[in-house]
Structure 1
Amino acid sequence: MSTDVVSRHVSQVIHADPRVIYDFASDVRNLPRWAAGLAKSPVVIQGDELVVESPMGAVTVRFVPTNEFGVLDHDVTLPSGTTVNNPVRVIAHPDGAEVIFTVRQIELTDEEFERDLRTVGEDLARLKDLVEAS
């Protein structure tokens, strides 16, 4: 494991209005539909936190408040107790919108980090399919 935190950006262009994408992605009931890397089952809402069963085990997630800027940042508290901040943006793009997710290598080997990058890419592709089909 590296002692330096490495960040990489994963993005997906979606042929839809940015607000439509933001509204779908920010609805916590939709997390298990598109964010399999985070939520494998329906989320449990406890105050302003979500408890989800993830591939890593039970994690707690706290999203930033709903906003008009397309910001979907969220903190995930891992089973180890470490909290990872995940910046996510939905921005306008000439073909609709682009969703940009920053993945950080925290408590991950290089192989695990590459797996997380692939998983986020798959999640964003699933988000694209769901939004474009609706």
Structure 2
Amino acid sequence: MSRIITASQEAVYEFASDIGNLPKWAAGLAQSEVVQEGRNLFVESPMGRVRIQFVERNRFGVLDHDVVLPSGTIVTNPMRVLAHPDGAEVIFTVRQIELSDVEFARDIRMVEADLARLAVLVSNPPGVE
């Protein structure tokens, strides 16, 4: 799925790649403060406590990350922030791993909501009129 955001690719990438911002926009993944141990991040999620590891910061807008579920299953989530004529396009691949069709549909709605929150936060940062 994808979402066009009316902000520059750089602004979207900077905000989304800041680990401290994760609970602000990615409620489908992080419902609590992020605990960082090296490159590993730990959060309480709708699935329980999960471990997340993002790729290193890069100039290509790649935000791929692995999520280790409570079951131990690793879900690799491809995510990109690309330049777009209207600002930036965020592309996120949702995978149906260990999910029923109903749970998968719920995950899709959660990712859509997360990307919508990201768009609002980056397009209208607090304190900027």
**TM over 0.5, shorter chain:** yes
Q: CA deviation at 1:47?
A: 1.0
Unaligned residue ranges in structure 2 (runs of 5+): none
For 1:80 and 1:34, how far apart are their aligned partners in 2? Answer: 25
Identity %: 65
Aligned residues: 125
Match of 1:111 among 93, 102, 112: 102
For 2:2 and 2:120, how far apart are their aligned partners in 1? Answer: 14
Match of 1:122 among 109, 113, 119: 113
- Aligned partner of 2:30 in structure 1 is 39
For 1:16 and 1:47, how far apart are their aligned partners in 2? Answer: 30
- TM-score normalised to structure 1 length: 0.92
Point out 4+ residue stretches in structure 1 off by more than 6 angstroms: none
- 1:5-36 per-residue CA deviation (whole Å, 9 max, x = no partner) reads xxxxx111000100100000000000000000
Q: Letter of the aligned partner of 1:119 in structure 2? A: M
Unaligned residue ranges in structure 1 (runs of 5+): 1-9
Q: CA RMSD in A?
A: 0.4
For 2:80 and 2:98, how far apart are their aligned partners in 1? Answer: 23
Structure number with the bigger relative contact order (C-alpha 8 A, sep ≥ 6) is 1
Q: CA deviation at 1:79?
A: 0.2
- Aligned partner of 1:132 in structure 2 is 123
Q: Letter of the aligned partner of 2:44 in structure 1? A: E
More strand by share: 1
